[in-house]
Each structure stands twice: as structure tokens, then as C-alpha cells.
Amino acid sequence: MNHSYLRTMRRTLRPYHKLLVLLLLVLPGLAQAQNFTETFGTTAAGIDPFETLAAADTRNALDNSAALSFSGDALGSPNNGLSTGYSYANAAGTSVNASGGASIVFARRNGGAAQSQLAVEYTFIVGNINTTGLNSRQRISFGLRVPVGSADGDLILEARDGNTANPFVAIPFTFPVAPAAGNEWELVTTTASLPSTTNLILRVRKPANISTRQFRLDDLTIRGFASALTATIDSQIFPNTPVNQRSAPQNLTVTGTDLTANAVVTAPTGYLVRISGVGSYAQSVTILPNANGNASAVLDVIFAPTFANAAGPYPQTLTGSLTVSSAGATTRSVTITGQATAPQSILTANPTALAFGSQTVGTSSVAQAFQLTGQDLTSNITVTAPSGFEIRVGGGAFSPNPLTLVPTNGSLSTQIDVRFVPGTTGTIAGNV
């Protein structure tokens, strides 16, 4: 039997099969978001001096000629004044130095040299940028060769959705400080919430009638933020520490990449933090990222139990989590633990030595003083003067007899006055 209806069915299905294969080939490209860096190639194999962007793009001389479109009035720069002196985070998020190869100049070729004409607007345009899969906020950076006398407004950064008729919208950035003389390469970095589109158009524009200053641009990068934090500590276990005292510090190392906000390190109850060796301890510390969104800091963490959080019985274990947080990044936690032990009485004197010099036998010297402080005291304090000295407290009469001080709630802070009253000649020394 000739089953001709089966052959008919196959012929009917084949066109759809081919269409499905075609869609599978096309869709991955449409869905792929683009972090990219454009270095304009090397001086030997990139955009040529005074070559148009469109021409360089047509011959695939640019890093992203295959994926993006390049146009505008800017030209390839002469092979001098190459980018240098800055580092930036490339499309992969890796910190790299200026590419030092080809770049573009906002000028037109005139008489064999690149000249920027006052009445002419110059543009550098990149199209077909796919932002659909990027983070809602992106970082834009580029190296800019800044001439003397340049100022904010000399260049404008802007973008629009090329799939719509929407106009360009300016993207604010901090213009580099102009050098006192000559030209200097600087890194420009800004962040923006770019439209989610398969055809973002980014434009850098030098407006007409601003100046004849020449700007060069290199290492253009757009990268969606991928904020991340790490936190490691020398030891998660702190030494036993009496209540109202502080342990030796442990070092906490914090790093952050692609941060869009400050990183905040917060200590749990019974612990305190500070930037290593800087300032006073506190419950939390703020770490500021740099212009590239990177942050790195070493912090001191101490175990500092008090009656409020370690009322006993002792030893009492205090366990908690150090947290490191920043908007848009996964919060990191480090568990730490320590044992609070019973409070220990502490008594200190400041200063710890007094020198009275020479004094005639039978006379009294000018009084000197020291401050006596104590904490967690469990009984009265007796202050005894050595032979040849008299003491007093609170402006009372001097006496060679011992003084009794009564702590208040286990604490004491009292000024003790001392005077030298020698009864014999010679060197007299002793301890109060």
C-alpha cells in the first residue's frame, strides 16, 4: 500500500521545522545583555588616525564592531598622547590599566591635523546596546584626555532607547579638574538607570560654540552592577573577658565590588567595631566605596560585655553575627562568640608618679594631685600616705593619716591631693 498521506504530512511540517530552527538561532542573540568595553583597538590594529567611526566599524577594526554600531563626527586620534595614568573596571569587572592604544578625538581633520572648530558639534555614538538583562543600574566609565582650560559642559553624555522616538536624556557626571598646563588623561565614572532595551543608543557630544578645545576618549565601558560583599575574620572565638572590660581585637577584613551604596558593618550585642586603629569603637561602622564601586577595609572587632548584656551567672556565653550590608548586595554574616566572666575590680591612678623637688625640713610643699578611678569595686578604698607626705580629698585638711573612700555603685572617681612635709634631710620617696 502506498501511504501517500504520510508524505504529504511531512511536506507540510518541514517549513515549520525550518522556522523553529531559525528562531532558535536568532533568539539567543536577542536575549544576551551586553557588558562591554571599547578600547578602539591598538595603534597597529584599531581605528586609524583621522578615520571615521563608521569606516572603522565597517572593517571590524573596533572591539565591538560585530555586536554594536559606531557612528558620529569623532575621528581616530593621532598616534600620540595615548591613554595612560588611570585604571578602570572593564566589562568583566576586572581592574585594568588604561589600554594605551588607539582612541578617538572630538575634532575633524583639517590641513593634515585634527582641529576642533568652534561652530561644529562633534559626536561619538554607540548603538545596538542590549540592556535588557543588566542590573537596573549601570556604571559608565571612560578615559578622557582633558586639555587645559576645559570645564563642565564641554562634553555631554546622554542616552536614549533606539526602539522608540524618545529623545536623548543627559546622564550627569563629574567633569575632571582641568590641568594647569598641557593635557592629562583622567577616568570619568558615573552611574545611570539606563532604559531596558535591545537598542540603547549612547552618545558623547561636544556642543557647538563652546570652545576649540580638543578632547580624546578611550576605554568606554558599560557594565551592569553585580554588587558583592565578602567578610572574613581572624578568629570567630574571642577570649574570656570580664564584664565591663574589653578583649584584644580580632581583625575583620571586608571587601566590596560594584557597590552602589556604602557598606555598613554592624556588631552584635556585646561586641564593638572600628576601622583598624582609627577612632573609637562603636556598634557599627560605615565603609565608603571608591568611584569604581570597590571597597576594602580592615576593622578591629572587640568583645565588650557589660552588665546590660551579660548579667550572669558567669561564665556567660554571648554569640551573635557580625553583618556586612550594602543596598543591592547579599548581606554577609560572620558568627562570633565569647564568654563573659565575673567583673573584676579595677583601680587606676593618673598620673602614676609625682615629683616634689627640694623642700626645707619642717615646711610644706605646694600640693600636687592625682586622679583615682575605679570600677566594679566591691568594698571601700583606703588611701595611705608614706612617711613625709600628707594627703587630703575634697579640699579638706591635709593629714598623714589614711583616707577611706566609699565607691558609688561600684565606681569611684576622686582627686587626691598630696603634699611633701619632710621631717628629715635626704631623699624621701614612697608610694601612696
Instruction: Give residue limits of the domains in the chain.
Output: 28-224, 228-341, 346-420
Per-residue pLDDT for 12 more than 70? no
Per-residue pLDDT for 30 more than 60? no
Q: Grid coordinates standing for 167? A: 529623545
CA distance 82 to 216: 9
The fold adopted by the segment(s) 28-224 is Jelly Rolls (2.60.120)
- In order of 6, 25, 31, 278, the CA distances from 17 in angstroms are 16, 13, 22, 69
Per-residue pLDDT for 305 more than 50? yes
pLDDT of residue 110: 63
pLDDT of residue 114: 55
Using 50, 70 and 90 to split pLDDT, how confident is the model at 111? Answer: low
Per-residue pLDDT for 26 more than 90? no
CA distance 384 to 375: 20
Q: What value does the mean pLDDT take over residues 108-115? A: 62
Q: What value does the mean pLDDT take over residues 64-68? A: 95
Cα dihedral sign for 310, 314, 317, 322?
positive
Q: Looking up cell 569595686, which residue turns up?
A: 377
The fold adopted by the segment(s) 228-341 is Immunoglobulin-like (2.60.40)
Q: Which range has the worst mean pLDDT, 19-33, 63-77, 324-338?
A: 19-33
Where on the phi/psi map is residue 400: left (φ > 0), alpha (ψ -120 to 50), or beta?
A: alpha
- 301 φ/ψ angles, rounded to the nearest 5 degrees: -120, 130
The pTM of this model reads 0.60
Per-residue pLDDT for 24 more than 80? no
Alpha carbons within 13 angstroms on the beta-carbon side of residue 17 total 6
Per-residue pLDDT for 243 more than 70? yes
